[in-house]
Amino acid sequence: MRAAISAMLLAATLMGGAPAPAAAQDYPARTVRVIIPLGPGGGGDIFLRALSDELQKRLGQSFIVENRPGGALNIGTRACAEAAPDGYTLCMLTSEPIVYNQFLFKSIPFDPEKDFAPITNLFFNTLAFAVNNDLKVKTIPELMALAKMRKLSYSTFSFPLAHFMEKLKKENGVDIVRVPYRSGNEVVTALLSGATPITLLGLANMIPQLQGGNVTALAVNAVARSPLFPAVPTIAEATGEVLPQSWFGLFAPAGTPKPIITKLAAEIAASLAIPHSTGRTTSTARSSGRSIRRRPSRALFVRTAPLRRGS
């Protein structure tokens, strides 16, 4: 890979005591569209719909979620980048299209640095390495041993975890085929049916299935074990590999007025601070105590620095 990736937080400073400009005072005056580049029914989609409901209550206008899956998340991300920068199109994006896709494809139809205005970070996404119970494995080494005896397949939306899985395959001399899906809901359906019996997916997508004993978690990708499943080791504990965490953030097209960005950041912070908020409950479950809502006035954004080949 010709470049290494470094993340930085860019401040989206909350306004002080001065009166807000008219653009922010009157906003929103009509329905706001919020794009997510994933299909309906997954954990991210559920979180966004809960957050949109809270924003509608606070701001008096509808926030309509629009699912635009496909193209390794590039399709929905492009739709956001090309929208009018008037505050009436927002998007909830993951680290994949903002950080990784520019290194995976010869070209992508947007510039991650120049085409988006970051509004706020939302949460780090705790991912679970889970398997269908019919595989009858409890650890990653047991799964690799099984893969030497039979053909298996897996799914994930996460580039770091896909890279991790490919490394496991190479180290163990096995061939586990990656199967693409458009939403977390589709992945869970395939996991339960055994069509794709292995997944590395957001924990929130599978909480009922894991609690009900319908699937088995071999590990989680987080800095610490999930309080929901304290017996499940982290990937670092299970394999010695320390992997970057996926995140979700809210963005707008570049050029969106800063007063609108600031207002949205403040309203989202207030929405997620409500103890009984569905959005906050979902965020806590997903982030395993690593919610980045602790710094609500900052927006998560990623820049890249070109390095020599092989760095």
- Domain limits of the chain? 3-125+246-306, 127-239
Whether the Cβ atoms of residue 292 and residue 280 lie closer than 8 Å to each other: no
H or E stretch at 130: strand 127-132
pLDDT 10s per residue in the chain (311 long)? 444 433 333 333 333 334 445 567 899 999 999 999 999 988 899 999 999 999 999 999 999 999 999 998 999 999 999 999 999 999 999 999 999 999 989 999 999 999 999 999 998 889 999 999 999 999 999 999 999 999 999 999 888 889 999 999 999 999 999 999 988 889 999 999 999 999 999 998 999 999 999 999 999 999 899 999 999 999 999 999 988 888 999 999 999 999 999 999 999 999 988 765 544 444 443 443 344 443 333 344 444 333 322 33
Class of domain 127-239: alpha beta
Tell me yes or no: is domain 3-125+246-306 CATH 1.10.3720.10. Answer: no
**Secondary structure of 28-94 in the HEC alphabet?**
CCCCEEEEECCCCCCHHHHHHHHHHHHHHHHHCCCEEEEECCCHHHHHHHHHHHCCCCCCCEEEEEE
Cβ atoms of residues 136 and 307 within 8 Å:
no
Asked whether this chain's domains 3-125+246-306 and 127-239 adopt the same fold, the reply is yes
Between CA 270 and CA 101 the distance in angstroms is 32
CB-based burial label for 212 (10 Å; 0-12, 13-18, 19+): exposed
DSSP secondary structure, 237-305, as one string: HHHS---PPEEEEEEEETT--HHHHHHHHHHHHHHHT-TT-HHHHHHHHHHTT--GGGSTTEEEEEEEE
20 closest CA partner among 272, 297, 258? 258
What is the pLDDT, as a whole number, of residue 137?
97
pLDDT of residue 275: 64
- pLDDT value of position 277: 55
